[in-house]
């Protein structure tokens, strides 16, 4: 007598069910069933979601708000003047500029224009993003606590500067699971700058699951033979040989299951079947060769090179189409302590056109309404120059007190501008948005009350937003 | 025990899970405070009515009886002993008015009818409080049935009350594999299996255990858990993540376990070896425990900010490892659930705040000397070389001729080179005394009240005779009357063998942690551990010689229904092996394992391009795999880079080694399957396992398959298994005979050579079967 019908599932039965899309216990692990219950007993989502998924276009290294989004024409007259002490007001700067004799103001060398009905001011560096102006909600009043990259990126991704908390994607993989039985719920892709800029080092922790189970961590897709680590069969092992070997393996594991009755054995059998399905679903997903030339043209010349931000944006659209819950791209190289005007051009060349193409494609395919797209980095950059300031070049140091970021789709109010900074893009003077508010709002759009989405660890109920977070009402449609 | 949510759902939905069973039981007639009441109050009430005075509402404190039974700001009395009808608590939890009811809706907490009933019963019976169990002195209870093994006596007493019976003893093959994996992290050799099967004299099991505890691989196995707790890694972490040198400390740990260093001494040397009288080099190396934290070398960091992080990390790690207290919660405010104040946190920090370290690393300097204090640790060869050069210089110095001066100059240069080549290891010192302040809201730049080194107020006081430094702290921790150190430590050993601790939350013995499943047994073991002289090997020997440990791990319907997580131990432990064990076992079974102990970390096979994609800058940006022996060392010697840890280990739930971790989750994922199927590590191991089957397994297919099966599982295959394996081999052989190129391709994975003269198609076929064997559920499982 077996009280547990799952233990009686035969492999054939399992496979026939799996082939119809929603598998059985395979989903229990890497792929969470949709609409799961959290251990606190709360079913997710808490209310009807506007967004089903998130595409986070993370700009690692911190893009300069002063040269892209936060137009400060008045600074032209203050070129090379000292930043007034009353603005800095004794706030700390990093050790890289703390020793500078002066904090000379470096106005952006780039021109800005207004775009769309919304009238968003955008830098000349973002001609493609400018086309989207009326779809965007731009926040100029983001701010954070950390002043160095690692703690700041950890804060942006996990809501805490201290290592060990789950990333946003892991929270969603845990809470909402996947909509696709053959792909992970949380996928990460990383690109390097095509220019010379300093490629920002990242850290696996940023897409880690923290104290959630490791199966909720981001699965990184790489360009090349193995889009997922160890996905490709060994040389000499054809798919037919793998299939036959897995049948033998399942047969042997089934004998063990009959003997021991441990449900973990059934789960392992299922995980091997899932692995086999991923061996076809992932390469099919990663194969851009069937995309028409017109699509590549839209994403720009870099899109034909695997592993670029442009190619990853195309993949992001394909992942969204297949129901992946959280798609996180990292583009490295925004840390422009020197020669900013030169390096930011190549960064924008890498990211402007593909990011805009992604949003437009989602829109045309009817996916934008259910996909929240977020574009931004871990903090902003200083109005004063780091190192030498000339008429044509300057550097900018880290600046956590304000930075800019845009949102699109997924229940975001189109053509909105939120927040304001002072004349120096130094301090926020209106509607500050801490990272916890951004995360609270993103969860809200996904149908989740951030105050009720908790996981117990070390006796405490943890949240992505810790004990903070207010909805950015003005951003919600 | 981590289980997938679906599996949990299966248990809850289709069987009667233990939790649900408890929830459905009638409220106990005589509720006990620690067992029944504190968990309710802690979870639902303490957040606003508990230890943290800054967030306490209505002036009501429920964790202290005198406060709870006195009038609050409003004049109401929360708890009137003997009179639930007069107790404000009861009125408020039963209130149907949303604005009046406790806990309030905004807390997202609620009480079940049963919990309300239990609270009322308890107040009616006098509302007696008890101190939290973990802070009470360890009392050695009487063994219920003194003629039995003490572990079995306590476990069976509880099973009897639950109407469960202990399982039969597992067969000998299962047992020797279980114990060998548990105590050495490696599978048993076939000669060891056979010796045990043939040893029919009494005491055979004890002889196996004594042999395993004497094995040099025992120390390696024990070190794996300790490295997780100590957050050991080979790089500094954070953005730059350059190499550091702490492997001499790792080797010290292995040796300490192998020597069976008393746990109190093990503690003293790691926390304060430098402060011991006439401290030896080894005792100073041991203090590397508290230098394992991350160090930030990013440009422009604020020294004070990261110094505050490093010292906080030491407090949190020490408090977790020895006290199982979640002290990190008290860094920014008083603890919400446990009686630990923010002042306690910073008073503990004062012990660790006098190190001649820098808040920021310095990546202008070579990585090995950028983070003082450190200690040169020349191996014997290098020490001899340096000594010889010094002698040569002394002898050459008097010769003032040009040739003589040239010679001295050359010797001086080679002395410098030799000294620069000396490995260092990070250590602690007390060379830079600093004032310590409570940091308001934990912010490094907001000092509050000044504090001095002191132990937490809720715990037994530190004797006046102890110095107020790390040595005093360590001696306080290992005082035989300390309520936590021994309990926490034996609980970790229990967890290592049985999969879950007697206290399941091994890192949290506080009020939000799980109470012990067998409190008397925990105390008996703790008392035994102390009276044995903190003898770790004796404690492990005691546990594995119990019948409880030796039970079969087969599931039975009754036990599964009543106790799905096997907390009552009506069967033996069965769970997936840690990642290190999985790989080491494959290397051992295939004959590839290099058993050399210690030394700098090594770089085995690794997916190409991984570092380049994720990291770059001033750290190591390219992974250059080692060659030869480096490819096949035990996994605890694998180079651990914090920003991109070894991916295979991560897939099998190893932590990042950035913070202290006392228990790993045990997941079951398709990415693990892909790793075991396709990682060159396992493809190569399959080929060499196949070679062993062909060369050592006799002439027949069945003897060869049996040999391979035994090398991996220690047991003989059953007929049904043999049928599958034989058919698999025959089919694969035909397949590869028709595809020599495919066979050759498979056989060229990995650097280890194949014995010349073997038939390629046959070896490829056996390799495929060997891969099946290495992927069996049983293979990656301790059962």
Complex ipTM: 0.88
Q: State chain A's maximal CA–CA distance in angstroms.
A: 85
- Do B203 and B307 lie in one domain? The reply is no
Q: Any idea how long chain B is? A: 783
Inform me whether the pLDDT recorded for B33 exceeds 90.
Answer: no
Given B99, B130, B161, which residue is the final one in a domain?
A: B130
Q: What tokens were used for A53?
A: 């998924």
DSSP state of B706: H
- Do B205 and B92 lie in one domain? The reply is no
Tell me whether B699 touches chain A (CB under 8 Å): no
CATH classification at residue A320: 3.40.720
- Do B720 and B741 lie in one domain? The reply is yes
- Do B435 and B408 lie in one domain? The reply is no
- Do B110 and B191 lie in one domain? The reply is no
Q: Compute the nearest-CA separation of B453 from chain A (Å).
A: 25
Phi, psi of A68 (to 5 degrees): -125, -50
- Do B620 and B765 lie in one domain? The reply is yes
- Do B418 and B433 lie in one domain? The reply is no
Tell me what pLDDT residue B24 has: 52
What is the rounded distance in angstroms from the CA atom of residue B631 to the CA atom of residue A301? Answer: 41
Tell me whether B551 touches chain A (CB under 8 Å): no
Contacts of B119 (CB under 8 A, 6+ apart): B37, B40, B89, B90, B93, B111
Tell me whether B360 touches chain A (CB under 8 Å): yes
- Do B197 and B336 lie in one domain? The reply is no
Q: What tokens were used for A123?
A: 């830098």
The per-residue DSSP string of B228-294 comes to HHHT--SB--TTT--B---HHHHHHHHHHHHTT--HHHHHHHHHHGGGSTT--HHHHHHGGGGG-S-
Tell me whether B716 touches chain A (CB under 8 Å): no
Taking the model in full, what pTM does it have?
Answer: 0.85
Record: contact A459-B512, CB cut-off 8 A = yes
- Do A120 and A251 lie in one domain? The reply is no
Record: contact A190-B613, CB cut-off 8 A = yes
pLDDT tens column, B376-388 = 998 778 888 999 9
Inform me whether the pLDDT recorded for B21 exceeds 70.
Answer: no
Bond into B103 cis (ω within 30): yes
Q: Compute the nearest-CA separation of B768 from chain A (Å).
A: 7
Record: contact A150-B296, CB cut-off 8 A = yes
Tell me whether A235 touches chain B (CB under 8 Å): yes
Given B465, B482, B499, which residue is the final one in a domain?
A: B482
Tell me what pLDDT residue B289 has: 98
Bond into B257 cis (ω within 30): no
Tell me whether B194 touches chain A (CB under 8 Å): no
Q: Residue A215: which of B513, B617, B667 has the nearest Cβ? A: B667
Contacts of A55 (CB under 8 A, 6+ apart): A316, A320, A327, A328, A329, A358, A371, A372, A373, A374
- Do A67 and A208 lie in one domain? The reply is yes
Q: Give residue B661's Cα distance to chain centre.
A: 6
Inform me whether the pLDDT recorded for B17 exceeds 70.
Answer: no
Tell me what pLDDT residue B747 has: 98
Record: contact A25-B7, CB cut-off 8 A = yes
Tell me what pLDDT residue B347 has: 96
Record: contact B617-A454, CB cut-off 8 A = no
Tell me whether A41 touches chain B (CB under 8 Å): no
Tell me the H-state helices in B590-718: 610-614, 647-651, 670-678, 680-696, 701-713
Q: Residue A29: which of B669, B721, B746 has the nearest Cβ? A: B669
Tell me what pLDDT residue A129 has: 97
- Do A187 and A322 lie in one domain? The reply is yes
Tell me what pLDDT residue A418 has: 98
* Total structural domains within chain A: 2
DSSP state of B141: P
**How, if at all, do strands B374-376 and B424-426 pair?**
antiparallel
Tell me what pLDDT residue A214 has: 74
Tell me whether A164 touches chain B (CB under 8 Å): yes
Angle (nearest 5°) at CA A388 between A382 and A392:
85
Tell me whether A78 touches chain B (CB under 8 Å): no
- Do A214 and A230 lie in one domain? The reply is no
With respect to residue B292, please indicate whether it lies within any of the assigned structural domains.
yes
Given B130, B151, B184, which residue is the final one in a domain?
A: B130
- Do B699 and B617 lie in one domain? The reply is yes
Residues B435, B438, B444, B445, CA torsion sign: negative
Tell me whether B615 touches chain A (CB under 8 Å): yes
The residue in chain B having the minimum alpha-carbon distance to the alpha carbon of residue A450 is B108
Identify all chain B residues contacting A268, using CB atoms and an 8 Å cutoff: 668, 673, 777
Record: contact A203-B239, CB cut-off 8 A = yes
Angle (nearest 5°) at CA A187 between A184 and A188:
155
Percent of chain B at pLDDT > 70 equals 96
A136 DSSP β-pair partners: A408
Q: Compute the nearest-CA separation of B410 from chain A (Å).
A: 40
Tell me whether A226 touches chain B (CB under 8 Å): yes
Q: Give residue B193's Cα distance to chain centre.
A: 28
Angle (nearest 5°) at CA A355 between A352 and A356:
85
Q: What tokens were used for A469?
A: 């977070």
Question: What average pLDDT score do residues B30-48 get?
Answer: 86
Record: contact A94-B299, CB cut-off 8 A = yes
Identify all chain B residues contacting A95, using CB atoms and an 8 Å cutoff: 299-302, 360
**How, if at all, do strands A371-376 and A380-385 pair?**
unpaired
Record: contact B728-A214, CB cut-off 8 A = no
The residue in chain A having the minimum alpha-carbon distance to the alpha carbon of residue B682 is A234
Q: What tokens were used for A122?
A: 């955008």
- Do A385 and A465 lie in one domain? The reply is yes
Nearest CA to B523 out of B136, B158, B133, B141 is that of B141
Reported as a pLDDT band with limits 50, 70 and 90, residue B404 is confident
Angle (nearest 5°) at CA B750 between B748 and B751:
100
**Which among A167, A233, A253, A268 is the top mutation candidate for probing chain B, defined by the most B β-carbons within 10 Å of its own β-carbon?**
A268
- Do B239 and B340 lie in one domain? The reply is yes
- Do A99 and A248 lie in one domain? The reply is no
- Do A158 and A234 lie in one domain? The reply is no
Tell me what pLDDT residue A10 has: 35
Q: Compute the nearest-CA separation of B438 from chain A (Å).
A: 19
What domain range includes position B63?
26-130
What is the rounded distance in angstroms from the CA atom of residue A438 to the CA atom of residue A424? Answer: 23
* Total structural domains within chain B: 5
Inform me whether the pLDDT recorded for B188 exceeds 50.
Answer: yes
pLDDT tens column, B336-362 = 888 889 999 999 999 999 999 998 877
The residue in chain A having the minimum alpha-carbon distance to the alpha carbon of residue B16 is A3
Inform me whether the pLDDT recorded for B13 exceeds 60.
Answer: no
pLDDT tens column, B701-718 = 999 999 999 999 999 999
Give the C-alpha distances (Å, rounded to integers) separating B109 from A46, A458, B40, B79.
16, 17, 11, 20
**How, if at all, do strands A371-376 and B424-426 pair?**
unpaired
Tell me whether A33 touches chain B (CB under 8 Å): yes
Do B70 and B87 meet the contact criterion of CB atoms below 8 Å apart? no
**Which among A22, A198, A236, A387 is the top mutation candidate for probing chain B, defined by the most B β-carbons within 10 Å of its own β-carbon?**
A236
Is A210 or B288 the better-scoring residue by pLDDT?
Answer: B288
Record: contact A332-B656, CB cut-off 8 A = no
Is B7 or A219 the better-scoring residue by pLDDT?
Answer: A219
Reported as a pLDDT band with limits 50, 70 and 90, residue B617 is low
Record: contact B668-A252, CB cut-off 8 A = no
Do B774 and B592 meet the contact criterion of CB atoms below 8 Å apart? no
Tell me the H-state helices in A309-456: 309-321, 340-364, 435-445
What domain range includes position A300?
1-30+224-305
Helical (H) or strand (E) element with A42: none
- Do A215 and A350 lie in one domain? The reply is yes
pLDDT tens column, B438-464 = 999 999 999 999 999 999 998 999 999
The residue in chain B having the minimum alpha-carbon distance to the alpha carbon of residue A211 is B665
Record: contact A95-B299, CB cut-off 8 A = yes
- Do B320 and B445 lie in one domain? The reply is yes
What is the rounded distance in angstroms from the CA atom of residue A116 to the CA atom of residue A120? Answer: 7
Per-residue pLDDT of chain A (477 residues; tens, 9 = 90+): 333 333 333 333 333 333 333 222 233 334 433 333 344 445 789 999 999 999 999 999 999 999 999 999 999 999 999 999 889 888 888 877 888 889 999 999 999 999 999 999 999 999 999 999 999 999 999 999 888 888 899 999 999 988 889 999 999 999 998 888 888 999 999 998 888 767 778 888 889 888 887 778 899 898 877 899 999 999 999 999 999 999 999 999 999 999 999 989 998 999 999 999 999 999 999 999 999 999 999 999 999 999 999 999 999 999 999 999 999 999 999 999 999 999 999 999 999 999 999 999 999 999 999 999 999 999 999 999 998 899 999 999 999 999 999 999 999 999 999 999 999 999 999 999 999 999 999 999 999 999 999 998 877 889 999 989 999 999 999
What is the rounded distance in angstroms from the CA atom of residue A140 to the CA atom of residue A423? Answer: 13
Tell me what pLDDT residue B174 has: 98
Tell me what pLDDT residue A82 has: 93
**How, if at all, do strands B424-426 and B781-782 pair?**
unpaired
Q: Which of A210-219, B714-723, B741-750 has the lowest mean pLDDT?
A: A210-219
Q: What tokens were used for A28?
A: 């229990």
Tell me whether B774 touches chain A (CB under 8 Å): no
Record: contact B728-A272, CB cut-off 8 A = no
Tell me what pLDDT residue B26 has: 65
Q: Residue B510: which of A226, A229, A459 has the nearest Cβ? A: A459
- Do A382 and A370 lie in one domain? The reply is yes
Nearest CA to B512 out of B39, B49, B62 is that of B39
What is the rounded distance in angstroms from the CA atom of residue B583 to the CA atom of residue B579? Answer: 6
- Do A242 and A317 lie in one domain? The reply is no
Record: contact B745-A213, CB cut-off 8 A = no
Identify all chain B residues contacting A215, using CB atoms and an 8 Å cutoff: 4, 667, 669
What is the rounded distance in angstroms from the CA atom of residue B733 to the CA atom of residue B448? Answer: 75
Inter-helix orientation angle B760-775/B719-737, to 10°: 140
Number of H helices, E strands in chain A: 12, 17
Given A289, A305, A321, which residue is the final one in a domain?
A: A305
- Do B210 and B283 lie in one domain? The reply is no
**3-state percent breakdown (helix, strand, coil) of chain A, nearest 5:** 35, 15, 45
Given A305, A336, A362, which residue is the final one in a domain?
A: A305
- Cα dihedral B711, B712, B714, B720, rounded to 10, equals -110
**Which among B578, B674, B675, B747 is the top mutation candidate for probing chain A, defined by the most A β-carbons within 10 Å of its own β-carbon?**
B674
- Do A197 and A241 lie in one domain? The reply is no
> Which residues numbered 288-327 in B keep a CB inside 8 Å of some CB on A?
294, 296, 298-302, 326
Identify all chain A residues contacting B512, using CB atoms and an 8 Å cutoff: 456, 458-460
DSSP state of A79: T
Q: State chain B's maximal CA–CA distance in angstroms.
A: 104
What is the rounded distance in angstroms from the CA atom of residue B66 to the CA atom of residue B127? Answer: 11
Q: What tokens were used for A401?
A: 């007190």
The residue in chain B having the minimum alpha-carbon distance to the alpha carbon of residue A458 is B508
3-class SS of residue B736? helix
What is the rounded distance in angstroms from the CA atom of residue B539 to the CA atom of residue B546? Answer: 11
- Do A228 and A298 lie in one domain? The reply is yes
Q: Compute the nearest-CA separation of A361 from chain B (Å).
A: 27
In 10 A of CB B202, how many CB atoms?
8
Identify all chain A residues contacting B616, using CB atoms and an 8 Å cutoff: 192, 199-201, 332
Identify all chain A residues contacting B647, using CB atoms and an 8 Å cutoff: 229
Given A256, A289, A305, which residue is the final one in a domain?
A: A305
């Amino acid at each position: 007598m077996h009280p547990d019908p799952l233990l009686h599932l035969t492999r054939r039965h399992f496979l026939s069910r799996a082939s119809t899309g929603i598998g059985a216990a395979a989903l229990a692990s890497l792929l969470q069933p949709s609409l799961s219950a959290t251990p606190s007993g709360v079913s997710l989502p808490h209310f009807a979601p506007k967004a089903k998924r998130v595409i986070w276009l993370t700009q690692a290294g911190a893009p300069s708000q002063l040269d892209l989004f936060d137009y400060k024409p008045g600074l032209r007259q203050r070129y090379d003047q000292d930043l007034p002490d009353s603005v800095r007001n004794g706030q700390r700067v990093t050790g890289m500029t703390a020793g500078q004799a002066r904090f000379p103001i470096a106005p952006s060398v780039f021109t800005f224009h207004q775009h769309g009905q919304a009238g968003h001011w955008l830098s000349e560096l973002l001609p493609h993003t400018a086309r989207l102006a009326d779809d965007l909600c731009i926040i100029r009043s983001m701010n954070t606590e950390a002043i160095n990259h690692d703690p700041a990126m950890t804060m942006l991704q996990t809501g805490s500067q201290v290592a060990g908390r789950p990333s946003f994607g892991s929270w969603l993989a845990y809470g909402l699971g996947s909509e696709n039985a053959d792909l992970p719920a949380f996928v990460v892709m990383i690109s390097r700058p095509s220019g010379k800029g300093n490629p920002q080092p990242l850290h696996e922790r940023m897409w880690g699951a923290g104290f959630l189970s490791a199966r909720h961590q981001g699965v990184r897709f790489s360009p090349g033979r193995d889009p997922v680590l160890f996905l490709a069969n060994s040389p000499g092992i054809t798919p037919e040989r793998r299939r036959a070997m897995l049948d033998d393996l399942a047969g042997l594991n089934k004998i063990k299951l009959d003997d021991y009755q441990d449900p973990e054995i059934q789960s392992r059998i299922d995980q091997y079947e899932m692995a086999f399905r991923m061996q076809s679903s992932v390469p099919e997903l990663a194969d851009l060769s069937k995309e028409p030339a017109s699509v590549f043209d839209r994403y720009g010349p870099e899109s034909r090179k695997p592993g670029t931000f442009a190619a990853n944006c195309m993949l992001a659209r394909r992942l969204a189409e297949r129901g992946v819950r959280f798609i996180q791209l990292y583009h490295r190289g925004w840390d422009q302590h020197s020669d900013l005007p030169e390096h930011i051009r190549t960064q924008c060349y890498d990211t402007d056109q593909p990011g805009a193409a992604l949003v437009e494609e989602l829109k045309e395919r009817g996916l934008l309404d259910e996909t929240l797209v977020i574009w931004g980095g871990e903090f902003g950059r200083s109005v004063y120059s780091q190192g030498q300031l000339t008429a044509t070049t300057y550097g900018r140091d880290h600046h956590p007190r304000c930075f800019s970021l845009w949102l699109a789709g997924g229940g975001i109010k189109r053509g909105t501008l939120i927040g304001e900074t002072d004349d120096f893009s130094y301090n926020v003077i209106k509607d500050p948005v801490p990272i916890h508010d951004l995360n609270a709002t993103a969860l809200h759009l996904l149908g989740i009350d951030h105050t009720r989405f908790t996981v117990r660890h070390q006796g405490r109920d943890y949240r992505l937003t810790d004990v903070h977070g207010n909805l950015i009402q003005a951003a919600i449609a | 025990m981590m289980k997938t949510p679906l599996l949990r759902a299966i248990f809850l939905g289709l069987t009667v899970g233990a939790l649900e069973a408890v929830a459905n039981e009638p409220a106990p007639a005589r509720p006990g405070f620690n067992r029944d009441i504190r968990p309710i109050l802690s979870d639902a009430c303490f957040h606003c009515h508990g230890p943290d005075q800054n967030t306490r509402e209505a002036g009501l404190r429920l964790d202290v009886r005198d406060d709870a039974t006195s009038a609050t700001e409003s004049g109401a009395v929360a708890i009137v002993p003997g009179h639930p009808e007069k107790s404000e608590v009861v009125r408020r939890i039963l209130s149907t008015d949303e604005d009046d009811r406790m806990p309030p809706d905004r807390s997202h907490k609620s009480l079940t009818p049963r919990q309300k009933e239990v609270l009322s019963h308890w107040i009616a019976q006098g509302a007696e409080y008890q101190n939290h169990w973990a802070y009470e002195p360890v009392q050695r209870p009487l063994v219920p049935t003194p003629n039995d093994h003490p572990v079995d006596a306590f476990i069976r007493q509880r099973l009897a009350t639950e109407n469960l019976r202990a399982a039969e003893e597992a067969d000998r093959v299962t047992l020797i594999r279980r114990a060998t994996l548990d105590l050495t992290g490696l599978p048993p050799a076939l000669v060891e299996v056979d010796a045990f099967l043939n040893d029919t004299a009494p005491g055979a099991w004890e002889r196996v255990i004594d042999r395993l505890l004497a094995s040099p691989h025992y120390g390696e196995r024990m070190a794996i858990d300790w490295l997780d707790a100590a957050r050991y890694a080979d790089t500094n972490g954070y953005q730059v993540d350059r190499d550091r040198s702490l492997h001499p400390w790792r080797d010290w740990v292995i040796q300490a376990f192998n020597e069976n260093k008393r746990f109190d001494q093990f503690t003293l040397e790691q926390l304060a070896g430098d402060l011991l009288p006439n401290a030896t080099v080894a005792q100073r190396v041991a203090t590397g425990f508290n230098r394992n934290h991350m160090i930030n070398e990013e440009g422009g960091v604020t020294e004070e900010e990261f110094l505050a992080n490093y010292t906080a990390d030491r407090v949190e790690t020490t408090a977790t490892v020895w006290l199982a207290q979640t002290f990190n919660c008290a860094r920014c405010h008083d603890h919400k659930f446990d009686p630990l104040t923010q002042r306690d946190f910073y008073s503990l920090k004062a012990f660790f705040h006098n190190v001649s370290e820098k808040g920021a690393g310095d990546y202008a300097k070579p990585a090995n000397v950028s983070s003082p204090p450190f200690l040169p640790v020349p191996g014997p060869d290098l020490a001899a070389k340096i000594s010889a050069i010094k002698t040569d210089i002394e002898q050459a110095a008097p010769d003032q001729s040009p040739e003589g001066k040239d010679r001295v100059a050359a010797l001086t240069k080679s002395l410098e080179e030799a000294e620069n080549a000396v490995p260092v290891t990070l250590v602690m010192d007390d060379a830079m005394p600093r004032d310590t302040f409570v940091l308001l809201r934990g912010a490094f730049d907001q000092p509050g009240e000044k504090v001095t080194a002191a132990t937490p107020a809720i715990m037994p006081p530190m004797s006046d005779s102890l110095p107020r430094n790390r040595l005093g702290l360590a001696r306080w921790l290992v005082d035989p009357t300390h309520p936590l150190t021994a309990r926490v430590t034996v609980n970790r050993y229990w967890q290592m063998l049985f999969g879950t601790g007697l206290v399941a939350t091994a890192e949290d013995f506080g009020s939000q942690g799980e109470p012990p499943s067998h409190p008397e047994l925990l105390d008996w073991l703790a008392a035994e551990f102390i009276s044995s002289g903190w003898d770790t090997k004796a404690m492990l020997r005691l546990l594995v010689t119990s019948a409880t440990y030796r039970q079969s791990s087969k599931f039975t319907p009754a036990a599964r229904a009543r106790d799905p997580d096997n907390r009552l131990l009506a069967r033996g432990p069965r769970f997936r092996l840690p990642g290190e064990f999985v790989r080491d076992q494959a290397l051992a079974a295939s004959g590839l394992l290099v058993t050399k102990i210690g030394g700098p970390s090594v770089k085995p096979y690794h997916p190409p391009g991984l570092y380049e994609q994720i990291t770059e800058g001033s750290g190591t940006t390219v992974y250059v795999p080692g060659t030869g022996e480096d490819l096949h060392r035990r996994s605890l010697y694998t180079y651990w880079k914090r920003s991109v840890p070894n991916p295979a280990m991560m897939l099998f739930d190893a932590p990042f080694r950035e913070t202290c971790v006392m228990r790993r989750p045990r997941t079951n994922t398709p990415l693990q399957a892909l790793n075991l199927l396709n990682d060159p590590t396992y493809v190569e191991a399959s080929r060499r396992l196949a070679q062993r089957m062909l060369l050592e397994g006799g002439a027949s297919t069945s003897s060869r398959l049996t040999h391979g099966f035994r090398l991996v599982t220690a047991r003989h295959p059953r007929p049904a298994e043999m049928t599958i394996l034989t058919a698999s081999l025959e089919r694969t052989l035909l397949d590869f005979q028709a595809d020599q190129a495919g066979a050759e391709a498979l056989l060229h994975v990995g650097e280890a050579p194949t014995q010349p003269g073997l038939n390629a198609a046959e070896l490829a076929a056996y390799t495929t079967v060997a891969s099946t064997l290495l992927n069996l559920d049983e293979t990656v499982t301790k059962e």
